[in-house]
Structures are given as C-alpha cells and as structure tokens.
A and B are shown apart, each in its own frame.
Chain A
Amino acid sequence: MKPQQQVPRNALVWMIICLFTLMAPHAARIPLWILAIYVFSAVWRMLVYSGRWSFPGRRVKILLTLSGFAGIYLSYGSLIGLEPTVALLLTAFALKLIELTSRKDAYVLLFLGYFICITEFLFTQDLLIVLYSLLNVLLITTALVALHQPGEHQFNRKTIRLAGIMLLQAMPLMVVLFFMFPRIGPLWAVPAKSQTAKTGMSDFMKPGDVSRLSQSADVAFRVQFDGEIPAPSQMYWRGLVFSTLQEGAWRSLRYYDVPVAERRPQEVLTSGEPLNYSIIMEPTQQNWLYSLRYAQAEHLGVMAAADFSLFLLVPLEDQYRYNVSSWPEALLETALSDWRRKTELQLPAQDNPQTRQLAQELRRGVASDGDFVKAVLNKFNTEPYIYTLQPEALPGEHPMDQFLFRTRRGFCEHYAYAFVVMMRAGGVPARVVAGYQGGEVNPVNKTVIVHQFDAHAWAEVWLAGQGWVRVDPTAAVSPERIEWGLEQALAGEGSFLENSPLSPLRYRSIAWVNLLRLRYDALTYRWQTWVVGFNSEQQFQLLQNVFGEISARKFAAVLLGSWALVLIPVAISLLRKRATHQLSTLDKQYLIFCSRLAGVGIDREPGETPDQLAHRARQAMPALAARIDQITSLHGDLAYREKAGSPELETDLLRQFKKVVAGFRPRKGQ
C-alpha cells in the first residue's frame, strides 16, 4: 500500500470515538443487538491494530452483512421505513470499521458518519440534540484531518483545533445559505416514521387514559398570543370531540359515519376582535390540532371538522406551527340537525342503569335543560366526590355506576364521562371534549407552555338558543385545577409528576431552577420559530425585511458579498501566518549584529558559522575585537549550550547579550 493510503493511528482512534458518539443519540431507538455490534466492531478493530487478530475474510464479511440485514428485518418486521433504514445505516457504519484498511474505506466511513448526523435530525431537532450533533460533526471532521496527518501517532490537540477552526470559518456562510436557499416542497414521497410512538391524547378515551397522560412533564405545544394572554381558566385547548360511546370508550365519529351534508362545520357568526395566536406543536404522530373555541386557521392543509375542531390530513411528524384566530364568545351550531341531535343523544342500550335512572330523576325535578346541568354539577360539588390522579380501576359493564355510587374518586375524564352520560340520559345533547386546559405562562417571552400534564377532558352540552356550551364538571369538584393547574389541585395528594423525579418542573419552587428552565424554554421557542420552523413564508418575509424588493441581482450580490466577506479574511489570515516569522529574541539580536557588520561591508556568507564570521570581523576591525568576541561567545552560550543553569541565569545572559549588541556600532575604517 502506498504510504498515502495508510490510516494513521490517531485517525483510527478518532474514528472509534465518532462511532460511539454518533450512535449514542440513536441508542434508545435501535434494538440492543446493534449496540452489541458497536462494541464488537470496536474491540475487533483494536485487536487488529494491536496485531492480535486479523481483518475479516470475504466470507465472514458477507456473513456479517447478511446477518445485519436479517437482524433488522426480524427486529422491525420490514426493511422499508425510516427506522429500519436508519438502523441499517448504523449497522453498516459499525461493520465498516472492521474492514477498514485503507484511507478509501475511512472516507466512506466518515461520510456515512455525516449522514448519520442528518438522520438524527429526522427524529428530533431539539436545540440540545443539534448542539450535540455539532460536536459529532467536529469529531468526524477531526478524524478526517487526522487521516491526512501521516506519522502523527500522538493523539494531539492540534488536530481537533484545526477541525474546529475550519468549522467556525464555515459557520457564517452556512447561516447565509440557510436563510437564502429557496425552500421548495418535497421532490418525492419519502419513507415515514413508522415505529415512533404516538404521543399526547389518543383518538379514544377510557377512564384512566388522561390521568396516565398527566404523569408526563413533556411539552405538548407552545402558544404565543398577539395580544393579552387570557386567564388560565379560560384556556380550554380543544383537540378531539368524542361523540360516540362504545364498549366503555369515547371515540370521535368516523368520517364515513357522518352523512355528507353533515361533514362541513356550520356557518358561525363572528363578531368583535378575535384572539390571535400561533401555536407550535411538538410532533404527535397524530393528525389533530389544538385551539381555543371558536377557531379559524387559514393555513394550507389545516381543515375544520363539523365539531369545530381543527385537523391535518397527515400525521404530525415534525414540529408544526400554525396561526389561529379565535372568537370565544361565538355561538356554535345554534340549529341542531336531526341527525346530529340523535347522534349526540345516543347511549349504548343497557349500560349504567343506575346512572341513567339518577339522571332521569334529576331532570324531572328541574324546569329546563340549563337547570339540569346545574343540578348535576351541584351534585358533584356538594357530595364527597374527590379529584385524584390515582383513581381506582372501574371494572365491569357499568363503570359509571361504580364511579358515581361506589368509588367516587376520579380524574377529569371520569367526571366528563359521567356528566355526558347523565346529560344524554336526561335528553340533553352532550359530548366529551379532550384537550388541554390552562398552561404555564413563561414570563421571559410571554409564551404559554402547555405540558402533557395539562391534559384535560370536559363536556359540551347543547342548549337551545346558546348552541354548544362548554361545561367542565371537574371545575365543580376541584376549582383549583382550573384556576391554578394540576400541581395545586394535587398539592394534598403529592402525586404531581411522581414518576419523573428529575423533571425541572418539580422544582418550580426553587427560584433559580425555575428561571433557568423558563429561559431555556424561551430559547427553545425562539429556536423552533426561527430555525426549526423556518419555512418559505418566513423566508420571504425575512428577505423582504432585510433587502426590500427581492431581485435576482440583489440576491446574487448578497450571496457573493457574504462569501467574499468570509473567504477574504480567512485567506488573509492563512497567508499572513505564512509571512510572520517567529524569531527568538536571541536570533533577532544576533541578526542585528550581522546587519551592523554588513553595514561595514562584512556580509555573512551562506553556511558561515558565527565563529568564522567573528574571525573575519576581528581581522577587519581589530579595535572592536573584544566586543565581537563577547557577542559571539554569548551567542554560542545561549544558543548551543544546554539551558544555562537556571531560567533566571538565562534571562540574565540574554539581557546582557542585548546590551552588548546594542552597544556594537562599527564604523567603516575602524
């Protein structure tokens, strides 16, 4: 092999480091055996390096490759889709290391490494992950540099320094390209995430579902209001509307179950200024969006359902930002169609007989539907019903009978469930709404952060003349939940985020932890808006703000200008480095001496030693012989002797040398 083609040892070490740092963020997503392959490859390669093992033969390579494919097929059930593809890349990356013999292999390995960085972004573009990936890019680049430093067997810091400098120099141009490169739509459909768990609310609701979700401290979405932020008790983020009860679970109406005429939302009369806000949702792998009622979103791809909720046609795989206008006071569906009335009154034939009976009794005792609502809420309020995150399970065919008459402990979904069943039994159209309630206002940037533990379920009843009216039975049981949030409501129970002891949200009472958390969240919001969520609209706006009217010529000028602005200083710094000679003080002083000699016609010849020069100089200027000898011997002492005893003595000699040289002023004819 040509010496050029060899892989230096330090490059190999950097590559093995890269191998693990690149795999680390994927670790939770890939099967365990791939992690084992990483360790196996690294150990094998190091044994090869130390000469105790040899490179794999052809057959072994084929066997390893095939078993890699087979393993992924068995683990994922398919080779198609984003996750299996990434797992394949990661496996190939590890196996490539074993057969890495020449520099060519190393290039393939390292470029694959850059690619693996990108695949990480397809799962998350979180600020911390991006910073971590930047570190990965630095390590890969360092390995690439080390690959071109033959004979550098020492693991040295200069290598990573150069890689870092180059990346820093590349940064400004990257930013320019990032904001100026036209954002176009996908060229073709790509494998989607098939294995990622759906998060947040699910499309059906059983007692216990919401309380389970409320254990999580993850962020569901962040909201930025244009104007004032409404009171937390007014922020009911509608997501799903559940109109059918089947086998103890609430579900939305399926699209095809709705008659064609009922599929579009009714016209709503809006008046006054709406609440304008924008929401950035975390990926849920589901397709519904959250909004305050009554919401309109003029966004490509955002649809409105007949129950006035918003949804997308495709599942939300990445963070998604949308702008909404809401009119909270607008009346919804003042005229109810027969089909709709029938649907919203339907209950499974035989279940919860006790509950139905109770509802019918209560209805008979009051004059209007409105009073009926009040009577049921009053019952929840006055009787010993308890709001808890740890409700008992409700087995059996009649869960609401059990809940209302026996356990009396429940989370929001229990109360919403029971309430809607009672309303329907009493002849009032009603449905369950699932979403989030409240949210934390971040004082740093005035966004509202809605966490998973803000998940909530409430009810909507239809009253003549008022349309759909929001009723929250939980508020009757635990007003604190609505006013102050879950943490306050559960203060007595101590069950808030019980299973996430490390979540910073648990330490909200410690001021600096809380401030740090909120500041980071504000940063995340900005990151999501300006970087992760940067799209063609924002791009257009930004370019227009900065450059005014956009023209091709301006565009080119800005691009070229920014390139010149970065490349010229870099080039100058590199070339200037070439032009500055780091002479030691000793050499500088000696050269002064030489130039003074040259001034009187005694040029130092190439290859002439100081002694020879001194000899000539002495002969030409006998008067200065002592000086010349002194300078020459001092120079010899300082330059060629081992360090003259101590550093102090050396500086002393150097000072003396300087003085003598300064006093050496030969004149012609001396």
Chain B
Amino acid sequence: MQKQSIRQRLRTRFRAWINRRIPPSRVVTLDQKRIFIFPSRVGFFFGFCLLIMLIAAINYQNNMSYALTFLLATLFIIATLHTFANLSGLTIRALRAQPAFPGQQSKFDVLIERGKRRDHFALYMTWPDSTDALVSLVEEDRVQVQLHTAVGKRGWYSPGRLLLESTYPLGLLRCWTWIDLDLYALVYPQPLASAQLPGLATDKPDGAAVPVTGSDDFYGFRDYRRGDSLRQIHWKGLAKGQGLQSKQYAAYADRSVWLDWDMFPGLGIEQRLSHLCYWALEFEGRNEEYGLRLPGVVIEPGMGEKHRDRVLKELALYGQGDKRQ
C-alpha cells in the first residue's frame, strides 16, 4: 500500500514536471528542452564490449588495441550529438482525431515535418496504448502518420503523451521525447437499441413530401439530369419515345422528429444518452430529419453528416462541459 502510494506520488510529480517542461501544444518543435537522451540497452552492451577490449589492450600491452578502443569510445560520444540531431528540429503537428464509439479504434493523424533539409531516420512514434509507426524523412519534408488506439468512455479521450524516439544512427543511444499534442478524440455514447421511440408514431406522416434520391416511395418524373442514376431512368417512357426522364422518389423528411431527453423517464443519464444516440443514428440511416432536445441544448431538426456529428457531439459531451482533460 505504502509503496503503491509512493509510486503514485512519483508519477504525479513526474507528470507535473513534464507538463511544466513540455506543456501541451498542438504544434511542437523539438529542441534541447524537449529532447531526452540516454544510452540504450545496446549502448550499455557496447560499453561492456569496450571494457573487454580495453582489458585486452592492457593485458596484451597492445597500443593499436588501445587506439581502436578509444576510437570506438569517442565514436560513442560523437554519436550522442548525431542521435540528438536526428530529433532536433522536427515539428510535430496534431492534425485530427477521428471520433469513435466506446471500444472502437480511433484514428489519430499527426504530421511530422523537418525544419530543414537534413535526413531524419527511423523515428518511432506511439501513444501509450496505440499502434506504432516508424517513419523517416528523407525525400519528403513532411509525413503524415496515423496511429490507432482503442478509446474509452464517452466524452473527450486523450491518448496521453506521444512518445517519439530514435536510436539512429548507431543504436547506442536512445533519444526520445514525450509530447502532449493537445489532441483529443471525441467518444460518442454507446448506442443502445430500444424497440420503439416512445411517444412517436412513425406510421403517420405529417409534413410535406420532399424528393429525396435513394428513397422508396415513388413521387413523379422529371427530365433527366446529368448525374442521375441509371436505375432512376424511366426506361419504359424512353421506349415509348417520351424522351429521357428520371423517376423521382420521395421521403417524408420534414416530419420533425424530436429526440427528447424526456422520452426516457426513469432511466439514468448514460442510458438515456445511449438510447438517444441509437435513435439519432437510426434516423440518419433512414434519411429522416431529427432534432435533439437535451436540458440546455436544442438542435433544430435536420439531417446529413454535419448534423449527425453535431448531435452526436452534444450527446458525447452532455454533462461534461467542453473541458478536455
């Protein structure tokens, strides 16, 4: 117990220290302050080999062995500068994080670019629980890296600090940085199906029919326009010599379905949000307009990707504020 708490405390202190040293930022350019360097495991093994070589030189009183041992030892030291230079001057930009449902993988896009024309090799990148990537900047000045990681609970998901490390050119030294790119993935509520949306009669359309392609209900004909699907073409009419016409279908889009917080009385917050999320996706899939009413939030009915994202975002962040942490 005591140990645990000491470790915990150390971790907190370390986090505080690194937050001071490398504060969160969407764009980070690596410099002396942000880069750490230390001999790698291979480096320690190399040091051990050097020790054996030195002992051989001493025991055989062999000057050339001394010289080679010293050459390799100084090479080790020179390598420090080269390893450092491999990270130094790189700029890492947070691009975007794909929203995801709990348990799904979110995709994080990060752009890594070099300041000047200098080759950077074998840059290893990973978030604590993400997939990893190994990139080099040789021909290109910038490379976009995609890392996937499974997200957790509803709200903003932070992947933690991005580890960027390299042992180039000799593998004897490990040079790394932990940067907080201030990049968060939005995690939607877990959709939860319910048999019916309470208080809504789906079979009684009200409102005007609006032609919507891809729907089922036939609505009428109009002249063919470029871009209409071949399936829409009124072939029979064409055969009768009526010219090229497209069939029009309609959906009752303007039914103003409201997804309301109060539709699920007696349920907990998360459950309500999960149900609402399910229905939002459902209506979006049916190409029906839907609005959202949460305490303090009203989104007028609409549809389409943007609308859906807005609705899902409100659901994801309900009760959490926009405070990313």
- A residues contacting B by CB (< 8 A) are 2-4, 103, 107, 111, 114-115, 117-118, 121-122, 125, 130, 133, 137, 141, 144-145, 147-152, 158, 162-163, 166-167, 169-171, 173-174, 177-178, 181, 183-190, 318, 531-535, 563, 567, 570-571, 574-575, 577-582
Is there a chain A Cβ closer than 8 Å to B45's Cβ?
yes
B122-141 CB mask vs A (1 if < 8 Å, else 0) is 10100000001110101000
- CB nearest to A534 among chain B residues: B63
Cβ-neighbour of A178 out of B62, B67, B77, B88 (below 8 A): B67
Cβ-neighbour of B53 out of A118, A186, A570 (below 8 A): A118
Taking a contact as CB atoms under 8 Å apart, the answer to whether A186 and B59 are in contact is: yes
Cross-chain pair count, CB within 8 angstroms: 171
Segment at the A interface, from B165-173, B280-288, B302-310: B165-173
* Bound: A177/B42 CA distance, A: 23
Taking a contact as CB atoms under 8 Å apart, the answer to whether A158 and B119 are in contact is: yes
For window 31-76 of chain B, which residues contact chain A by CB distance below 8 Å? 42, 45-46, 49, 52-53, 55-75
Name 4 extra pairs, CB < 8 A, besides A4-B122, A145-B169.
A118-B68, A170-B78, A173-B77, A567-B81
A residues within 8 A CB of B115? 578-579, 581
Is there a chain A Cβ closer than 8 Å to B82's Cβ?
yes
Is there a chain A Cβ closer than 8 Å to B291's Cβ?
no
Taking a contact as CB atoms under 8 Å apart, the answer to whether B60 and A190 are in contact is: yes
- B residues contacting A by CB (< 8 A) are 42, 45-46, 49, 52-53, 55-75, 77-79, 81-82, 84-85, 88-89, 115-119, 121-122, 124, 132-134, 136, 138, 167-171
Taking a contact as CB atoms under 8 Å apart, the answer to whether B169 and A121 are in contact is: no
Interface of A is mostly: helix
* Bound: A271/B321 CA distance, A: 107
A residues within 8 A CB of B62? 118, 121-122, 125, 318
Shortest A540–chain B CB gap in Å is 15
The answer to whether A174 and B167 touch (CB under 8 A), given A187-B55, A582-B117, is no
B residues within 8 A CB of A150? 121-122, 134, 136
* Bound: A230/B79 CA distance, A: 53
The answer to whether A167 and B63 touch (CB under 8 A), given A4-B124, A111-B49, A133-B68, is no
Subset of 30 A-B contacts with CB under 8 Å = A2-B132, A4-B124, A107-B42, A107-B45, A107-B171, A111-B46, A114-B53, A115-B52, A115-B53, A122-B60, A145-B170, A148-B122, A149-B168, A163-B169, A166-B82, A170-B75, A171-B74, A173-B77, A174-B70, A174-B71, A181-B70, A190-B56, A318-B61, A567-B78, A570-B78, A571-B81, A577-B85, A578-B115, A579-B115, A581-B116
Shortest A634–chain B CB gap in Å is 24
* Bound: A534/B52 CA distance, A: 21
- CB nearest to A117 among chain B residues: B68
A residues within 8 A CB of B88? 574-575, 578
A residues within 8 A CB of B53? 114-115, 118
The answer to whether A570 and B81 touch (CB under 8 A), given A158-B119, A174-B70, A534-B63, is yes
Nearest 9 CB-CB pairs, A to B?
A: A121-B64, A173-B74, A170-B74, A177-B70, A578-B89, A148-B168, A574-B85, A174-B71, A3-B134
B residues within 8 A CB of A167? 71, 75
Shortest A18–chain B CB gap in Å is 15
A residues within 8 A CB of B56? 118, 122, 190
Shortest B60–chain A CB gap in Å is 6
- CB nearest to A149 among chain B residues: B121
- CB nearest to B172 among chain A residues: A144
Cβ-neighbour of A144 out of B45, B73, B170 (below 8 A): B170
The answer to whether A169 and B121 touch (CB under 8 A), given A186-B59, A574-B85, A575-B85, is no
A residues within 8 A CB of B124? 4
Taking a contact as CB atoms under 8 Å apart, the answer to whether B168 and A187 are in contact is: no
B residues within 8 A CB of A581? 115-117
Taking a contact as CB atoms under 8 Å apart, the answer to whether A148 and B121 are in contact is: yes
* Bound: A183/B116 CA distance, A: 46
Cβ-neighbour of B65 out of A118, A141, A170, A534 (below 8 A): A118
B residues within 8 A CB of A189? 59
Taking a contact as CB atoms under 8 Å apart, the answer to whether B85 and A137 are in contact is: no
Taking a contact as CB atoms under 8 Å apart, the answer to whether A118 and B45 are in contact is: no
* Bound: A76/B316 CA distance, A: 77
* Bound: A173/B65 CA distance, A: 15
The answer to whether A574 and B81 touch (CB under 8 A), given A125-B64, A141-B75, is yes
A residues within 8 A CB of B82? 162, 166, 574
Shortest B315–chain A CB gap in Å is 32
Shortest B83–chain A CB gap in Å is 10
Shortest B172–chain A CB gap in Å is 9
B residues within 8 A CB of A174? 67, 70-71, 73-74
Taking a contact as CB atoms under 8 Å apart, the answer to whether A188 and B169 are in contact is: no
Shortest B8–chain A CB gap in Å is 30
* Bound: A479/B72 CA distance, A: 55
Shortest A226–chain B CB gap in Å is 24
